[in-house]
Structure 1
Amino acid sequence: MSRKVVFTDLDGSLLDHDSYSHKAADALLEELERDQIPVILTTSKTRAEVEALRLELDNRHPFIIENGAAIYIPKGYFPVKPEACIEVEDFWIAEFCETRSHWLSLLEKAKELFTHKFSHFAAMKEEVIAQVTGLSLEQAQLANNREYGEPISWLGVDKGKQEFIEWLTEQGGHVLQGGRFLHLSGFCNKGEALAWLAAEYKTQWNLSEIKTIAIGDSGNDVAMLEKADLALIIRSPVHAPPKLKRLRGFFISEEFGPRGWNSGLRKIL
């Protein structure tokens, strides 16, 4: 037996880049649920942010947070708790990299070399986070409730930005360019998390095949867009589509955000 699983980025993909609305994709989301095709929210966002959105979407499936740092599986979702998972509250959690405190310590050291060249969420007031992201104050509080990585706003010139990224990499960090921010974490990514969860689906549900579909719009989605069986790149109003190494099995939407998500995914399905 074969099953499809959809792994989707949020900001700029399922959610509109400016308004964060998912209205244009709601009808298809309902159809996917009826057809028993899981939609896995796969994002740089925090657990708190995703839990709020899951309630809004009535999504009961596992979700991937902070660019693949951890997978949260609702307890009892699979017949057996995966061996690699820890059990916390109502979830089985698979963790793939170091916690936020490790990266905050590294950024303190970086301030000595890159003075006044960057800021990051832990150093910002939540009112400022709301301003730079377009989120409400309540949403900004959720966005700052990070567990594994740290979003960074680069304030200097592009040349210095590359030097900054290289320095963080030399210190053991992994830096991804998102739609708005640099994201610093360990060497985890959405692609490895996708592969782990797809394998778990296949084993736990005793399937002959899992067909994965990844949807994203920016650089921090590339790993899962490369890893999935099929990839849908969502056009962005603010940046060019990310470039992939794969030569087949990928599509680029004609429209932006959730409109492109809806029309593009319908063509793939």
Structure 2
Amino acid sequence: MNKVSNNWIIFTDLDGSLLDHDSYSHKAADGLLGELEQDQIPVILTTSKTRAEVLSLRAELNNPHPFIIENGAAVFIPQGYFTTKPEGCIETDGFWIFRFCQERSYWLAILEKAKLIFPHSFSHFSVMKEEVIAQLTGLSLEQAQQANQREFGEPITWLGVDKAKHEFILWLEDQGGHVLQGGRFLHLSGACNKGQALVWLAAEYKKQRNLPTTKTIAIGDSGNDIAMLEQADLALIIRSPVHESPKLKRTHGFFISEEFGPRGWNAGLRKIL
């Protein structure tokens, strides 16, 4: 890759984007990830996954940068990554953490009420055995355990009819919840999204690194990526083998990959850069 200006920041979804939908492999993107690191272009893992899942993957990818978990619920910045701790961050476990919504327990209490109104119509991670989560996601038991270490929201699997699903979502929204349709699950949390987290972190880079401007690229494949795909300067939609591509309101500055998953990620991002 030719040397590009180092005020680019790349925000990428994981499942179905940087990671293959079925195998969770990132192999096809590894070469480009190495080049980006060499060129000092941060790749920010921006995902519906938990902190435990991302920490495991970050180690695998040798990614030292901040990351965004649970659909924009919180930004985690390694302590000392910036010169000063960003305003509004708490300091825990070696990270500066900026939170955008309430903790998981708050949403679990709302789901308990929902069970009275929509009996036997849905299930969710906190009541599932890890074997069931592994079966639903294709993850190993250890990975399923990490996926269940949620801090800010709850993945839900809908078991009822489509019409009732719409009513269920409206009911959750009336309770102050924010519901996103991901590749596999409904995700319930507060009024947070990946776009809001992208804007906050890009502004922090600009301030802390004293940059005249930052240029952001967002990469994603499903509905829970729309907010960041709309907010970024440039967007790359990764084609999915299992669902339609997200529909954006923006009319320019976006690209659609020809291939799926990390192959599409690699080819599409090379083309943009």
- Determine which of 246, 252, 261 is the counterpart of 1:257: 261
Residue 17 (1) aligns with residue 13 (2): no
* Equivalent residues of 2:236, 2:269 under 8 A apart: yes
TM-score, length-scaled by structure 1: 0.99
Residue 157 (structure 1) shift: 1.0
Q: 1:68 is matched with which residue?
A: 72
Give the AA of the match of 2:19: L
- Determine which of 240, 247, 265 is the counterpart of 1:243: 247
Q: 1:184 is matched with which residue?
A: 188
Cα deviations by residue, 1:199-237 (Å, 9 ceiling, x for unpaired)? 000000000010000000000000000000000000000
* Equivalent residues of 1:2, 1:211 under 8 A apart: no
1:85-96 aligned within 5 A: 85-96=89-100
Cα deviations by residue, 1:156-203 (Å, 9 ceiling, x for unpaired)? 111111000000000100000000000000000000000000000000
In structure 1, C-alpha distance between the alignment counterparts of 2:203 and 2:6, rounded to whole Å:
13
Aligned length, in residue pairs: 269
Residue 27 (1) aligns with residue 27 (2): no
Residue 197 (1) aligns with residue 201 (2): yes
Give the AA of the match of 1:78: F
- Determine which of 55, 78, 82 is the counterpart of 2:59: 55
Residue 42 (structure 1) shift: 0.1
Residue 2 (structure 1) shift: 6.0
Q: 1:167 is matched with which residue?
A: 171
SS of residue matched to 1:209: coil
SS of residue matched to 2:214: strand
* Equivalent residues of 2:17, 2:220 under 8 A apart: yes
In structure 2, C-alpha distance between the alignment counterparts of 1:190 and 1:26, rounded to whole Å:
23
Give the AA of the match of 1:170: D
* Equivalent residues of 1:81, 1:92 under 8 A apart: yes
Q: 2:137 is matched with which residue?
A: 133
Residue 114 (1) aligns with residue 102 (2): no
Residue 103 (1) aligns with residue 107 (2): yes
Residue 44 (1) aligns with residue 48 (2): yes
SS of residue matched to 2:224: helix
In structure 2, C-alpha distance between the alignment counterparts of 1:14 and 1:34, rounded to whole Å:
18
Cα deviations by residue, 1:77-119 (Å, 9 ceiling, x for unpaired)? 0011001101002000000000000000000000001111000
In structure 2, C-alpha distance between the alignment counterparts of 1:197 and 1:83, rounded to whole Å:
12
* Equivalent residues of 1:175, 1:185 under 8 A apart: yes
* Equivalent residues of 1:2, 1:208 under 8 A apart: no
TM-score, length-scaled by structure 2: 0.98
SS of residue matched to 2:7: strand
Name structure 1 gaps, 5 residues minimum.
none
Moved over 6 A (4+): none
